Chains A and B, each alone.
Chain A
Amino acid sequence: QVRLQESGPGLVRPSQTLHLTCSVSGGSITSGDYYWTWIRQNPGKGLEWIGFVYHNGNTFYNPSLRSRTTISIDTSKNQFSLTLTSATAGDTAAYFCARELGGALAGTIDYWGQGTLVSVSS
């Protein structure tokens, strides 16, 4: 059973950098069958895709967040991370890491982390 677990600060000051890590267990992050993905959900709102990293380090980001976003992968630790710079109150959200299937089922997210709430406030 694959498990994903987010970790990182629950409070970030405005203009500072938000950094979260996702630890993956029960499966290898080096598999080429998946995209390792970050998704967020503003309070009371819908889901917003942030971007993904592939096992070889290739990335693709939501155009609306691309200029502030970096997603990286650490295969030695079976982890991947999210960095979001210049945080504002609008970045206050529950952040989920997830595994997206590739190939013909691209877009399907079969495993999700439990989510971590990040507040951006002074």
Chain B
Amino acid sequence: SSDLTQDPAVSVALGQTVRITCQGDSLGAYDASWYQQKPGQAPVLVMFGQNNRPSGIPDRFSGSSSGKTAALTITGAQAEDEADYYCNSRALRNTHLFFGGGTKLTVL
């Protein structure tokens, strides 16, 4: 079971903006991180901390949080952004690492 809740599926028109959310009680001690996973591949970190993008991640990806909700926003979605997106968070030091159930993003 997952302490973090994500919408199972979201769609966005090409070039439009989409917000993927993650809710849960474990979003407290540490910020959520976000991962993109394409079929047959390992997840890739796309956002961490308050709003930090790893090297190589396009600046159309941004992150935010408020209380027990974290969000990943893609501004100007591209076809290559179609993937599953997972959030995760560690509630407290040396405790369970939770993952959200994942959101399947479709770019129309």
A37 within 8 A of B: yes
Instruction: Find A113's partner among B42, B54, B100, B101 (CB 8 Å cutoff).
Output: B42
Q: A46-B102, A47-B43 are in contact. List 19 more A-B contacts (CB 8 A).
A: A46-B2, A46-B86, A47-B35, A47-B102, A49-B96, A63-B96, A96-B42, A100-B97, A106-B93, A107-B32, A107-B90, A107-B97, A108-B33, A108-B45, A108-B48, A108-B49, A109-B33, A110-B48, A113-B42
Chain A residues closer than 8 Å to B99, beta-carbon distance? 39, 46-49
Interface residues on A, range: 20 to 34
User: Chain A's nearest CB lies how many Å from the CB of B22?
Assistant: 12
**A52 CA to B43 CA, complexed, in Å:** 18
B-to-A contact residues, CB < 8 Å: 2, 30-33, 35, 41-45, 48-49, 54, 86, 88-90, 93-102
Chain A residues closer than 8 Å to B93, beta-carbon distance? 106
**A104 CA to B93 CA, complexed, in Å:** 10
**Provided the pairs A47-B86, A114-B42 are in contact, do residues A109 and B35 lie with their beta carbons within 8 angstroms?**
yes
| Interface pairs (25), CB distance under 8 Å | A37-B97, A39-B99, A46-B2, A46-B101, A47-B35, A47-B86, A49-B99, A52-B97, A60-B95, A104-B49, A105-B31, A106-B90, A107-B31, A107-B32, A107-B97, A108-B33, A108-B45, A108-B49, A109-B88, A110-B48, A110-B54, A112-B42, A113-B42, A114-B41, A115-B42
Interface centre among A100, A107, A109 (most CB of B within 10 A): A107
User: Chain B's nearest CB lies how many Å from the CB of A26?
Assistant: 15
A62 within 8 A of B: yes
Please give me the 6 A-B residue pairs with the lowest Cβ-Cβ distance, nearest first.
Answer: A107-B90, A49-B97, A112-B42, A108-B48, A47-B99, A108-B33
**A110 CA to B53 CA, complexed, in Å:** 11
**A60 CA to B93 CA, complexed, in Å:** 10
User: Chain B's nearest CB lies how many Å from the CB of A102?
Assistant: 9
**A48 CA to B89 CA, complexed, in Å:** 12
